[in-house]
Amino acid sequence: MESVQVIKQRFGIIGNAPTLNRAIEKAIQVAPTDISVLVTGESGVGKESIPKIIHQLSHRKHGKYIAVNCGAIPEGTIDSELFGHEKGSFTGATQTREGYFEVADGGTIFLDEVGELPLTTQVRLLRVLENGEFLKVGSSKVQKTDVRIVAATNANMFEAIKKEQFREDLYYRLSTVDIHLPPLRERQEDIHLLFRKFASDFALKYKMPTIKLTDSAIEVLLKHRWNGNIRQLRNVAEQISVLEQNRTISAETLTGYLPSSGNNLPAVIKHTKSDTDFSSEREILYKVLFDMKSDLNDLKKLTMELMKKGNSKEVEKEHQGLIKKIYGSNDETEYEDAIDEPEVLSIQEHSKIPQDIVNNTDKYHFAEEIEEEETLSLHDKELELIKKSLERHSGKRKLAAEELGISERTLYRKIKQYDL
């Protein structure tokens, strides 16, 4: 069995982080077997190196090695790409085609971004993993294949399973052995080493002197989060190698090639509109009507107190807060004018209120009449809003219900209630 250092030299892997060495050790250990392997890690950490190691150290090394980017193949053609198709099985299928599983028989298939596979393709893949059988698109003939599958993903597979975007049984068949590659920010000791390697490679490629970082620039390099991992680090090294005339790179120069620090902070998410944000015309109208109803109820209460007690000063003292709410002023003379006794008498005279109500012999009758008139008014407004909304949407209840902010079932009940 080859050592980790030999394997890193052979496959051009740079770094000495313990987590990286452990991932390579696991790859070396599982390579001689036919166990399915799932490689996990963020985008840009170099997951494609692990399946190459596994294939080259296995008994399949003389067989085919095919790498497939599942996220790059359209959903409508991925079954044909993986399993092949028969002539005439769909529009454009002018001849029979072999799929990757047929071509790679006896070898290894690397399924990159396996979490992007459609659910129907996942079912086909599960059958291959269980018994090595598959069907070409448009064929009823079962074919056999002897392929070792190594998959990789940067997605949270448990979250995908929870959302029913990935089959749980397929996940456990793929991840017999799980090899995790750490992000670059967890490999602090490797960052400068990798940068120097990239700088040297680009100096040879573009035939120019190698760039070097100052001590302060190295500190900036190590503190950066590197969300794009090794891929991002390589990109920055290439940009600086090509664009900078001065081959000694300062911290200020390096910072100019890095995303602003704000990009590495958690995003600020705007609050969604709350239920009390009356932004539409309909909501504003409802609010006004409810406020009017509240004010009318307060006014009724005050009027009934005046009729029962007949003493405006006493009522004013007991309900000072209520009077302030209705008349919106702190000037006590306004309250006195507003509830002056002669005015109350005038109201009683001109309103033609029966004497038994004034004498409090039927204290609820007056309140009930006002409530009935008010309720009818609110019903009219509601009826008008429903009619207008239905007219605007040509009688489509679903759209009207969405505009009114009620359920379609409630709208249907209102339509029956108002005989619309």
| Domain range annotation of the chain | 4-182, 186-264
Nearest alpha carbon to residue 111 among 93, 126, 130, 133: 126
DSSP annotation string for 237-254: HHHHHHH-SSSEEPHHHH
CATH architecture entry for 186-264: Orthogonal Bundle (1.10)
Residue 349 pLDDT = 42
- 50, 27 Cβ separation under 8 angstroms: yes
Residue 126 pLDDT = 96
- pLDDT, tens only, 366-408: 444 444 444 445 667 778 888 888 888 888 888 888 888 888 7
Strand (E) or helix (H) holding 327: helix 320-327
Of the two residues 279 and 80, the one the predictor is more confident about is 80
The one-letter amino acid code at 252 reads E
Residue 395 pLDDT = 81
DSSP annotation string for 85-102: E-TTSSTT--S-EE-HHH
pLDDT for 353 beyond 60: no
Mean pLDDT of 330-340: 44
Mean pLDDT of 56-63: 96
Side-chain-side CA neighbours of 410 within 13 Å: the count stands at 10
Of the two residues 322 and 391, the one the predictor is more confident about is 391
Residue 293 pLDDT = 72
pLDDT for 160 beyond 90: yes
Mean pLDDT of 284-295: 69
pLDDT for 344 beyond 80: no
Write the Ramachandran bin of 103: left for phi over 0, alpha for psi from -120 to 50, otherwise beta: alpha
Q: How far apart are CA 369 and CA 343, in angstroms?
A: 22
Q: How far apart are CA 186 and CA 143, in angstroms?
A: 45
Q: How far apart are CA 77 and CA 261, in angstroms?
A: 41
Mean pLDDT of 119-132: 95
Count CB-CB contacts under 10 A for residue 264.
13
| Least confident interval from 9-13, 73-77, 226-230, 236-240 | 73-77
- 219, 228 Cβ separation under 8 angstroms: no
Nearest alpha carbon to residue 31 among 59, 67, 68: 59
- Please report, to the nearest 10 degrees, the dihedral formed by the alpha carbons of residues 61, 10, 69, 152 taken in order: 90
pLDDT for 280 beyond 70: no
Residue 262's pLDDT band, with cuts at 50, 70 and 90, is very low
Residue 159 pLDDT = 95
Q: Which residues, listed in sequence order, are joined to residue 112 by a DSSP beta bridge?
A: 69
The 3-state DSSP class for residue 255 equals helix
Query: pLDDT above 90 covers what percent of the chain?
Result: 59
Nearest alpha carbon to residue 33 among 149, 127, 114: 149
- 411, 401 Cβ separation under 8 angstroms: yes
Query: pLDDT above 70 covers what percent of the chain?
Result: 74
pLDDT for 341 beyond 50: no
- 83, 117 Cβ separation under 8 angstroms: no
Nearest alpha carbon to residue 39 among 119, 121, 112, 126: 112
Residue 36 pLDDT = 96
Mean pLDDT of 200-215: 95
Residue 389 pLDDT = 81
Residue 414 pLDDT = 80
Residue 267's pLDDT band, with cuts at 50, 70 and 90, is very low
Strand (E) or helix (H) holding 173: helix 168-174
pLDDT for 270 beyond 60: no
Mean pLDDT of 172-188: 95
- 123 Cα distance to chain centroid: 26
Residue 356's pLDDT band, with cuts at 50, 70 and 90, is very low
Tell whether the torsion through CA atoms of 7, 9, 14 and 16 is positive or negative.
Answer: positive
Residue 313's pLDDT band, with cuts at 50, 70 and 90, is low
- 150, 35 Cβ separation under 8 angstroms: no
Mean pLDDT of 196-203: 96
Most confident listed range (205-214, 343-352, 367-376): 205-214
The 3-state DSSP class for residue 179 equals strand
Count CB-CB contacts under 10 A for residue 296.
15
The 3-state DSSP class for residue 129 equals helix
4-182 CATH fold: Rossmann fold (3.40.50)
